[in-house]
């Protein structure tokens, strides 16, 4: 799993312990993913999971789009809150390009009792997001973007059509381990440049209200006006 930028091990442990214990399905997902080796860093941290759950609660999320599912930690976290709030009416559109990851995530959705609330959309999410913009226009309460960084702007533009007014965007990794603050890295790396340009664009974009936060590896929040 990832950890918050700039926090040492003591503070990371403090933050973790200050949150409530993870649901057993989330704990199982984290343990499974840790055993995958280096790639486990793609998974959000438990404290980010708690943050996502609070965001879902604040917007009373019933319809959610997640772009970047991996082994299912973030989707399971949000689904637990969504189902508590809305029961069977809750629905999360889970978008990922990798079929193996859906198989893995399904184990934890099953364990959490939320598989019935998931609509799996396997494929390139740049296409899926455009489809959802025509399928569920103005209907999503929350969109969590945690996939290929170079396409974040595509997800932003499609997501604006999918979100309801007052709906919430969460873009993960907008600090990119600090690289976004280094002009040379912005010039030399496509992902770093894309994250920097999106943050600049959203700051000036009158279609949304926004807050750039340093939670985890940076979460850019924006609500549709």
Ligand X SMILES: C[S@@+](CC[C@H](N)C(=O)[O-])C[C@H]1O[C@@H](n2cnc3c(N)ncnc32)[C@H](O)[C@@H]1O
Binding site for ligand X (CB under 6 A): 42-44, 68-71, 73-74, 95-98, 101, 124-126, 146-148, 151
Closer CB to ligand X, 13 or 39, in the complex: 39
Closer CB to ligand X, 141 or 146, in the complex: 146
Closer CB to ligand X, 80 or 206, in the complex: 80
Report the run of H or E that residue 188 belongs to, with start and end: helix 183-188
Hey, which residues does 145 pair with through a beta bridge?
67, 171
DSSP 169: E
Q: At its nearest, how many Å lie between ligand X and the CB of residue 66? A: 7
Q: At its nearest, how many Å lie between ligand X and the CB of residue 152? A: 11
Which is it for strands 163-172 and 219-224: parallel, antiparallel or unpaired?
antiparallel
Q: At its nearest, how many Å lie between ligand X and the CB of residue 97? A: 4
Q: How many CA atoms lie less than 13 Å away from 213 in the CB half-sphere? A: 15
CA distance 34 to 30: 6
CA distance 25 to 178: 31
CA distance 15 to 9: 10
Closer CB to ligand X, 85 or 150, in the complex: 150
Q: At its nearest, how many Å lie between ligand X and the CB of residue 160? A: 18
């Amino acid at each position: 799993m990832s950890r918050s930028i700039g926090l040492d091990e003591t503070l990371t442990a403090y933050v973790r312990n200050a949150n409530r214990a993870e649901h057993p399905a989330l704990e199982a997902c984290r343990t499974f993913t840790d055993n995958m080796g280096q790639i486990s860093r793609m998974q959000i941290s438990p404290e980010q999971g708690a943050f996502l759950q609070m965001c879902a609660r604040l917007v009373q999320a019933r319809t959610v789009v997640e772009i970047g599912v991996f082994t299912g930690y973030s989707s399971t976290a949000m689904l637990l809150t969504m189902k508590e709030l809305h029961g069977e009416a809750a629905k999360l559109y889970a978008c990922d390009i990798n079929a193996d990851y859906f198989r893995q995530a399904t184990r934890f959705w099953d364990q959490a009792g939320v598989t019935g609330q998931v609509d799996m959309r396997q494929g390139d999410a740049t296409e899926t997001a455009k489809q959802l913009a025509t399928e569920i226009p103005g209907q999503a309460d929350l969109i969590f973007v945690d996939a290929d960084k170079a396409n974040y702007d595509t997800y932003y533009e499609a997501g604006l059509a999918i979100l309801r007014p007052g709906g919430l965007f969460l873009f993960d990794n907008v600090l990119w381990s600090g690289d976004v603050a280094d002009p040379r890295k912005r010039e030399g790396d496509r992902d770093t440049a894309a994250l920097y340009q999106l943050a600049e664009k959203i700051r000036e974009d009158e279609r949304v209200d926004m807050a750039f936060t340093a939670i985890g590896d940076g979460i850019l929040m924006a609500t549709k006006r």
